[in-house]
A and B are shown apart, each in its own frame.
Chain A
Amino acid sequence: MISTKHLELVRLGLRSLLGYPMRTVLTMLGVVFGVGSVIAMLALGAGAERELLREIGRLGIQNIIINSVKPEESTDSSSRANWINSYGITFKDHRRIVATVPGIKRALPVHVSKRTVWSGSKRVEGTLYAVMPEHLEMFQLNTSVGRNLSHLDDEKLARVCVIRSGLLKELSIFEDPVGLPLNIGNETFHVVGVLEDDAFLGYARKALSVDAKSSEIYVPYNSILKRHGTRSITRRSGSQEATDVELNQVVVSVEDLDQVLITARVIDSLLDRSHPEKDYELVVPLEVLAQRQKTQKVFNLALVAIASISLLVGGIGIANIMLATVTERTKEIGVRRALGARRHHIMAQFLTETTTISTIGGTVGVLVGIGLVQVLTLFTGWTSVITLFSVLLSLSISMAVGIISGIYPARRAAGLDPITALRHE
């Protein structure tokens, strides 16, 4: 039961702390920095996890991405300079997956090719992604200007494209890009929309084979496939190399989240039979996310553990000062005992003081930590998340530090013999 008597004891405890303001503040500093760094580490750890979720989660945790991979060349490449280099996932694979693998919502084909893009006299090497309209939707590729690709575009084999603003910059186009003609290969495509500046990051970029320039050009799948087929020719100083990859990518969406991993195994074994040369790879975002999160969690734990060391040092600081205080106030303890204080009263008095120091220190530490995180995110661009949980955790830890660091000094004080304490000068 908390009575006014307890409050009075707390008030008097505060009084003796205020009696030595400098010492109290210095003692507090240990906890302030300890809690501050714990808060900062927790915030940065949580930020890194959120970033991870944003980066990999964008690939869709219900998805399985199958990429065609160029196999290691077995023979000397110069002797087969004019050969057709054919590998990867085929239309037949695609059909078979759709027909035989259960629990699939859809399997979107993607064809990727490198093309030279002209606008007037400017030219850049661009990457063309022939995709179904659902593809853009699935990866949250929304237009900020104009419209997105539609099924009608696909059916009519329209020569339209949706681009990234990065491409406009490379082509030095500053006017309204909607309706702009771009010469891609031997044909003219009209820009119908520009995507939001929300590029794929890190792992997602690799998984979708998007380059770092983030200047993808998206065109209707059938406009490319029906008009051009799948063969692409790269000319290189005299020799030319033809590549024929039917599908560069298939994005499979699984109906049930629980079935994602099993479905991935099924697809893998299905493809494995017809592709002994391993010219494909499977990316399972759900799996990658889980792995990365696990690694991140361990890393976060290590960060917090390191930060906790400073909190430990802070606790030792409190214990140390309190031991000195007990010696210094031995006489006072004797007086209190002579006036009827029981051992537990003396214990409580010193524990109140240490807990007060550490709790105030902890509160200031939380503020310092939040400030530190703000500064860090401002200067480094890292993501950080300060959760209520981390604040409450730090506060309870600092309270516990106060109690634990107070126990030994308080026991020492309470254990003093009344008459010996009273005689102490």
Chain B
Amino acid sequence: MKNSVVSLQGVHKYYGELEPRLHVLKGIDLNVAEGEFVSIAGTSGSGKSTLLNLLGCLDDTSKGTYLLNGKDVSTLSDDQLSQIRNEDIGFIFQSFNLIPQLTVFENVQVPLLYGARSISDCGDLCMQVIDSVGLIPRLEHRPSQLSGGECQRVAIARALINDPALLLADEPTGNLDTSTGDEVLALIEDLHRQGRSVVMITHDPDVASRAERRLLLTDGVIVDAEAA
């Protein structure tokens, strides 16, 4: 069996300090193997984003353990978590989350500023990545001058710049029409073929069907979508 990149064991997540607390995740067990493409579906408010934020080391679990590449995330320091987010995880957000005052090129470059890599070869690297999402002609444009699909491709390029092993995508096509959505999906499938592990959240069954394994988040637990 392949190594697990992601391994969740009995993970719970509550919101709020006081009772009654909002119990969103109620015992999640999830393994994502190296190079696997997993999709997670679920109704709105079921906790998909909450789960993905946990996987992306942006938030911490209320209970249970999360092993990322075999390491218990709860034992890591803030700086170590930052380093993991920078080097090991590529996060594609539901709402792009580009920095409005920066150009396409600069947005893609941001993760490099916080990494250990020296920036001398970064120009070439950025160009390469931007080229792979087909945005070379829009290099100097601001996010406000781009279409939704273009923004999402910038976000993908940014997620790829540090060549992460794990790609997390939160409804990457949620804000796009079907044809642009397809382009974006094709990009993600490409990345998967290159050997990256992908966890993609979507509530669109067509989109979910592109994944190797389809899961469903319901009532705070993960079930196999095929079985459901």
Contact = CB atoms under 8 A, between A and B. Distances in A.
B is a partner of A: yes
Nearest to B82: A342
Nearest to B161: A339
A235 to B, nearest CB: 91
Contacts of A343: 78-79, 82
Interface of B: 53, 56, 58-59, 78-79, 82-83, 85-87, 91, 93, 97-102, 106, 109-115, 118-120, 158, 162
A3 B118 contact: yes
Contact of A341 (B93, B102, B114): B114
A339 B101 contact: no
Contacts of B53: 419
Contacts of B93: 338
A335 B93 CA distance: 10
A116 interface: no
B79 A342 contact: yes
Contact of A8 (B78, B83, B119): B119
Given A9-B113, A340-B83, A419-B59, A335 B99 contact: yes
Interface in A314-336: 331-332, 334-336
B180 to A, nearest CB: 22
Interface stretch (A11-19, A142-150, A275-283, A397-405): A11-19
Contacts of B59: 418-419
B58 A418 contact: yes
B98 to A, nearest CB: 8
Contacts, number: 77
Contact of B113 (A5, A15, A418): A5
A337 interface: yes
Nearest to A425: B95
Contacts of A9: 113
Nearest to A337: B82
Nearest to B103: A15
B97 to A, nearest CB: 5
Contacts of A8: 109, 113, 119
Choose among B78, B112, B114 the residue with the greatest number of A CB atoms under 10 Å from its CB.
B114
Contacts of A16: 101
Nearest to B78: A343
Contact of A342 (B102, B110, B114, B118): B114
Contact of B102 (A3, A12, A419, A422): A12
A345 interface: yes
A12 B114 contact: no
Given A12-B106, A419-B58, A340 B85 contact: yes
Contact of B82 (A5, A12, A19, A340): A340
A340 B87 contact: yes
Given A337-B82, A342-B79, A345-B114, A3 B58 contact: no
A5 B119 contact: yes
A9 B93 CA distance: 24
Contacts of B99: 332, 335-336
Choose among B82, B93, B98, B118 the residue with the greatest number of A CB atoms under 10 Å from its CB.
B82
B213 to A, nearest CB: 25
A418 B60 CA distance: 11
A274 interface: no
Given A8-B119, A19-B101, A339 B114 contact: yes
A4 interface: yes
Given A16-B101, A339-B158, A341-B82, A4 B110 contact: no
Contacts of A340: 82-83, 85-87, 111, 114-115, 162
A339 B111 contact: yes
A3 B112 CA distance: 13
Interface in A401-425: 418-419, 422
Choose among A340, A419, A422 the residue with the greatest number of B CB atoms under 10 Å from its CB.
A340
Given A345-B114, A419-B59, A339 B120 contact: no
Given A12-B113, A340-B82, A340-B115, 13 more contacts: A8-B113, A16-B101, A336-B110, A337-B82, A338-B85, A338-B93, A338-B97, A339-B85, A340-B85, A342-B78, A342-B114, A343-B78, A419-B58
Contacts of A342: 78-79, 82-83, 114
